Structure 1
Amino acid sequence: MDEFCVDVGGQRIRCLTAGGGRPLLLCHGFLSSAEEFGGRFQALAAHRLLIVPDLPGNGGSPPMASRHTVEGLAASLERLLAHLDIVEFDLAGLCLGASVASALARRCGDRVERLVLHTPLVSPQLVRRLYREQVRILTMPPLWQGVVALSRSRTVSNLYKRFVIAEGDVDSRTAQANFDNQRRADPSAAREWLRDGVRGGDLAALLQRKGPTLVIVAARDNVVRVDELQWLIADRPNISLFVDREQGHGWNEAAVQRQLNVMLDFFAADTEQLVPISEQEAHRLTA
């Protein structure tokens, strides 16, 4: 994937890009970066021009001067799209990044053709109460400094994800990438995003959408209330649901391949209707 950085209203945003065709903006999850979401699903570049930013305060993008709320992050991506002269696009969000994707979809309306929400945290009612309480307590200022310090320990990090989040088996490459990303993330930005994302959300943006939408959930998810989400979208013909029955909130190579195949089918559905942009235009983004 090619890398480029842009200055959007004084905010530096680092992005990865690959492929060609209709732009597909990918919003990574909590304590993550463009490499994790974009790298794992790089095969989507067969159908789309992938644009994968490091959200402000994550990876190679410095934190914003303002608070890192879901709306604030969505606004930063809206400015990024304007800077890149992108009008119509597809959109995908992973985990807490799904909250940003939902907010951006509402802001952009019909400009978003296809939307993918992967293990989405888009409403408090869809987040298990135990996890909500963990977030509320652990993000209190006196405790958060301890959380940040402990997050620098690979052993503590692995134990928390395995026994509290219960993310399931995760390959060593993903585990190392996750650990590196959480060490790079700005602690204040991470706290602000997590608190706002878990307490708020934009479920209405999903339920009121008319365009093609794919929701991917994990049957063993210890964070998302999968049964409640299934019930809410059951009568929405524009929303397709894929339940990965072998996985928790984390992922391994096998889960990535299963989910990638579903996403490839989803984005390939209208590929024949698209007019691919030229290679020169695709590389304009990295100039």
Structure 2
Amino acid sequence: MEMKSISLKDSTITYIDKGAGKPIVLLHGFCGSSKYWSEVIPVLSENFRVIAPDLPGHGGSTMAQENNTISDLADIIKELTDKLNVGQVTMFGHSLGGYITLAFAEKYSDSLNGFSLVHSTAFPDSEEAKKGRTTNMEKVKQEGIKPLIDGLVPKLFSPDHLEESYVETAKEIGYQTPPQGAIQTLHAMKERPDRNYVLESSSIPVLLIAGEQDQIIPAEKTFSVSKANIKQTIIKDSGHMSMYEKPADLIEAIKGFVK
């Protein structure tokens, strides 16, 4: 798929922009890129305009500031959608992308038709998870990006799927993450606040998607708020990466939500 590039105030963002119709924004997870959506975009773009950026500090996108917060990353996504003149969008955030989506919904709800957390959570890091972020920041500083990716990626998938070729694909995408981008993003994730109140206070449509076999964010962490405007969907036989493990099921959930 053709990658485009756009210069923003503090960063350069590379992105995919494919199809026409209602605009959908897809935000990938930590140490991923827009390539995470390669099975999903061709199908969705038959009905919708799909915009999938490489998040700042990932893929081909730069991250200028040293101490970006998740809220700062949401500001960059807002600047991108403004530059692309898309008006209101429906935003789907996978994992890290979900943290950014929540921050976006907190600040720019008028720019959203609806939003979705895909294998993500509104909860902040636990103290144990924060220690893990710090350990991983030091690991990348000392050893580079490869050992982090080799340790991380197998945990993203259901144990039943570890022999699948897409596990290696996810590793190859991860190896392309600039080390400094990974370090800065680990810090941003570690410091993010509890945003359950965003789900509680939002009146626009929300879709929460969890993987039945997700070892990173279990369903109860995704399904933290129950309200009339919030739909909960479990993807069977999937870990943290339904865009690889069960792409047809994820596409069906996205299409149904947007329509």
Taking the TM superposition and a 5 Å limit, the aligned residue runs for 1:1-287 are 1-37=1-37, 39-42=38-41, 43-124=43-124, 131-139=129-137, 141=138, 143-146=139-142, 148=144, 150-151=146-147, 157=150, 160-162=152-154, 167-168=158-159, 169-170=161-162, 172-201=164-193, 202-230=195-223, 232-234=224-226, 236-251=227-242, 253-267=244-258, 269=259
In 1, are the aligned partners of 2:96 and 2:120 still within 8 Å (CA)? yes
Relative to 1, partners in 2 of residues 1:81 and 1:188: Cα closer, same or farther, differing over 3 Å? same
Displacement of 1:30 after TM fit?
0.5
Tell me how far apart the structure 1 counterparts of residues 103 and 205 of structure 2 sit (CA, whole Å).
Answer: 16
Q: Which amino acid aligns with 2:231?
A: S
Q: Matched residue of 1:40: which SS? A: coil
Q: Matched residue of 1:193: which SS? A: helix
Q: How many residues matched? A: 256
Relative to 1, partners in 2 of residues 1:150 and 1:186: Cα closer, same or farther, differing over 3 Å? closer
Displacement of 1:136 after TM fit?
3.6
What is the match of residue 284 of structure 1?
none
In 2, are the aligned partners of 1:138 and 1:147 still within 8 Å (CA)? no
In 1, are the aligned partners of 2:32 and 2:58 still within 8 Å (CA)? yes
Tell me how far apart the structure 2 counterparts of residues 22 and 171 of structure 1 sit (CA, whole Å).
Answer: 37
Q: Gapped runs of 5+ residues in structure 2?
A: none
Tell me how far apart the structure 2 counterparts of residues 3 and 114 of structure 1 sit (CA, whole Å).
Answer: 26
In 1, are the aligned partners of 2:20 and 2:49 still within 8 Å (CA)? yes
Q: Matched residue of 1:115: which SS? A: strand
In 2, are the aligned partners of 1:122 and 1:197 still within 8 Å (CA)? no
Displacement of 1:31 after TM fit?
0.5
Tell me how far apart the structure 2 counterparts of residues 188 and 265 of structure 1 sit (CA, whole Å).
Answer: 38
Q: Which amino acid aligns with 2:217?
A: V
In 1, are the aligned partners of 2:123 and 2:221 still within 8 Å (CA)? no
Q: Matched residue of 2:86: which SS? A: coil
Displacement of 1:128 after TM fit?
6.8
In 2, are the aligned partners of 1:96 and 1:120 still within 8 Å (CA)? yes
Structure 1 or 2, whichever has the larger Rg, is 1
Alignment identity in percent?
18
Tell me how far apart the structure 2 counterparts of residues 258 and 200 of structure 1 sit (CA, whole Å).
Answer: 30
Q: Matched residue of 1:46: which SS? A: coil
**Bigger Cα displacement from structure 2, 165-174 vs 11-20:** 165-174
Displacement of 1:170 after TM fit?
4.7
**Bigger Cα displacement from structure 2, 24-33 vs 196-205:** 196-205
Displacement of 1:132 after TM fit?
4.6
TM-score scaled by structure 2? 0.87
In 1, are the aligned partners of 2:145 and 2:175 still within 8 Å (CA)? no
- RMSD in angstroms over aligned alpha carbons? 2.5
Displacement of 1:14 after TM fit?
0.7
Displacement of 1:122 after TM fit?
3.1
